Amino acid sequence: MALETTTGMRAVLAATLASLAATVQAANDPGLHFYRHDWELACDNTRTCRAAGYNSDDQPAVSVLLVRKAGPGEPVTGRLKFGYYGEEDGPGARAQAEGYEAQMRIDGQGQGKVKVGREMAADLSKRQVAALLRALAKESEIDFEGAGGTWWRLSDKGAAAVLLKMDEFQGRVGTTGALIRKGTRSEQTVLPALPKPVIVVPLLLKNSGTRLSGEEAEALAALLRPTTKQDDCETLFRENPENWQMTVTRLTETKSLVSASCWLAAYNGGVGFWVVSEPGRRKPSLVTTSGSTYSDGVVSCSQKGRGLGDCWSMESWTWNGRVFQPSEARTTGMCKLVAPGGAWDLPTRVSEIRRR
């Protein structure tokens, strides 16, 4: 009986350690972002991968998103989105206003219809996804034809390289479930999914922050400068304290968050964030020089890929009581005028945030 109990305890301990190791790995894994021609791949720290393909630059805007979770036997799902950015009477605008069906064709052969809704998106069926994956492994013409002769062509340029990289990231190369380089190895041998790392935000002191100026700001700026470079935080190296827009927000009795203006570009700006020790605002530790805002324990960054606003990148860092831990990194896909704000959500880092 004692032996059975000991064996059971060992099994529980082993499972606990394995789960902890997987969580640590997910927290430290930066994910992957890979581009090739008209296709891109974003794999996050849970090993879920998202491949997005687009039209060639001289064609009407269209995009397909292929998603596959990590682990054996996981299917690939597909979603289609027609572009409508800035159109007043183009095919995308009409589809958005009316909604209609479009015929999917590969090398001239019909693959069934997709029903386009007001959000300019449609789910692809399992059969359509399978046909699309076969087509993307080689040179193919992939078209969608709507009412009145409107049509969109999805580029296949770069797709095979992106799907191969997806297989490599998930450990599927040479397995029966690989998308590009299939083999005889069982899908049971592929890499497992990893859990989202959990970040627990402790109870925060309630304060709105204090704006610094004059000698107080100058003294703090002198401490912050050695933690960064002038190219990364140009404003902080200017002589006029009013340009720094420096604020101190108390996090705990022994830690505060300092923010200061760092740089300003044509359509983006960067705010620097540092954690300092209290009392005396000592030992500054840099979080980022490209932040945007701070709220409720989270430093966030949101930057346009270009002035049109059809592509964005976002990051966040979350306070865990000791440091601001990287908690999110994502883009909205290539700058292809598919939709205002971007076509897709393509994370390379995800986390579960819990609050005490």
- Please give the chain's pLDDT, 356 residues, in tens: 444 444 444 433 333 334 344 444 555 666 999 999 999 999 999 999 999 999 998 899 999 999 999 999 999 999 999 987 765 555 555 555 556 789 999 999 999 999 887 778 999 999 999 999 999 999 999 999 987 778 899 999 999 999 999 999 999 999 999 999 999 999 999 999 999 999 999 999 887 789 998 899 999 999 999 999 999 999 999 888 788 999 999 999 999 999 999 999 989 999 999 999 999 999 999 999 999 999 999 999 999 999 999 999 999 999 999 999 999 999 999 999 999 999 999 999 999 999 98
Question: pLDDT tens, 134-170?
Answer: 999 999 999 999 877 788 999 999 999 999 999 999 9
Number of alpha carbons in the 13 Å side-chain half-sphere of residue 174: 7
Last residue of a domain, one of 168, 189, 210: 189
Whether 18 is covered by a domain: the verdict is no
Query: Rounded to two decimals, what is the model's pTM?
Result: 0.88
| Residues 143 and 252 both lie in one domain | no
| Residues 270 and 329 both lie in one domain | yes
| Residues 319 and 173 both lie in one domain | no
Domain ranges, residue 241: 198-355
| Residues 238 and 210 both lie in one domain | yes
| Residues 135 and 175 both lie in one domain | yes
Backbone phi, psi, residue 227, to 5°: -85, -5
| Residues 34 and 71 both lie in one domain | yes
| Residues 34 and 180 both lie in one domain | yes
CATH number where 56 lies? 2.60.40
| Residues 54 and 170 both lie in one domain | yes
Whether 221 is covered by a domain: the verdict is yes
For the chain, the domain total comes to: 2
Whether 2 is covered by a domain: the verdict is no
| Residues 36 and 139 both lie in one domain | yes
Whether 76 is covered by a domain: the verdict is yes
